[in-house]
Amino acid sequence: MRIISENRCFEGVQGVYAHDAKATGTEMTFGLFLPEEAEDGPVPLLWYLSGLTCTHENAMTKAGAQAWAAEHGVGLVFPDTSPRGEGVANDEAYDLGQGAGFYVNATQDPWAKHFRMWDYVAEELPALLLSEFAIDPDRQSITGHSMGGHGALTLAMRLPGRFRSVSAFAPIAQPTQSDWGRKQLGAYLGTDEAAWLDHDSTHLMTELGFDGPVLVDQGASDQFLDLLRPEALAGAMMARRQEGTFRMQKGYDHSYFFVQSFMADHLAFHAEALWK
């Protein structure tokens, strides 16, 4: 692991680091904010998964999360959204290839060689963080925006006991029934749609649910509502009687202005679960 940068931030440290990842076979970069409390011992950790076209940097610089994380004594990790670099498969479209890993392990060419983002986020990066930084392995939660909201929800439900809480901003809620999902899952996982279901949060909510509290915020003026299908996830939460809250926020769109506006709520929500 190498240090790209470390900056003082709200009495803690905002770092950017790179390492050679076995899961992807590439160098991967991530951001990590550690609050002042990490100087004295392990702190809880909130994962933030970003959306289409993003890198580790978008949420790190636009979400306004560090101030609230510092207030609650919680660390924040910002992984990249895909493998990158020379020799890594890509596509001319913004919603496939580099920047659009969808948090799956690809099985189809040309993606299978490097696009193993599930293994990277679920296994390799957590192991690295726990070995190198002052993080409490038993106090982790997860959130994300858009494609990252999809990733946060699917990881939380498929890894029971890993995360104490999960939240999402405008998640891609039913990718098996949306053009933001069918295209990518078909490319990465093949034509057998049964293989896609492990990456559909509405299906997972119906079948598994989450063993903790859930918070979902969706902008009511989001320009991508038809692709996100939030009503499917809300219905599945209601049908399951899932512990949680689903909020439609009047006038908000899909941008980071929306994310910023409710970040304080999400940090407080996760801090309550993390510090129990």
Would you say how long the chain is, in residues? 276
Burial class (CB in 10 A: 0-12, 13-18, 19+), 3: exposed
What's the CA gap between 87 and 273, in Å, rounded? 42
Distances from the Cα of 5 to the Cα of 8, 149, 175, 202, angstroms: 10, 27, 36, 38
Active site residues: 146, 222, 254
Closest CA to 233 of 197, 194, 205, 198: 205
- Between the alpha carbon of residue 191 and those of residues 108, 175, 194, 195, 236, the distances in Å are 10, 14, 9, 8, 25
Q: What are phi and psi of 10, to 5 degrees?
A: 50, 45
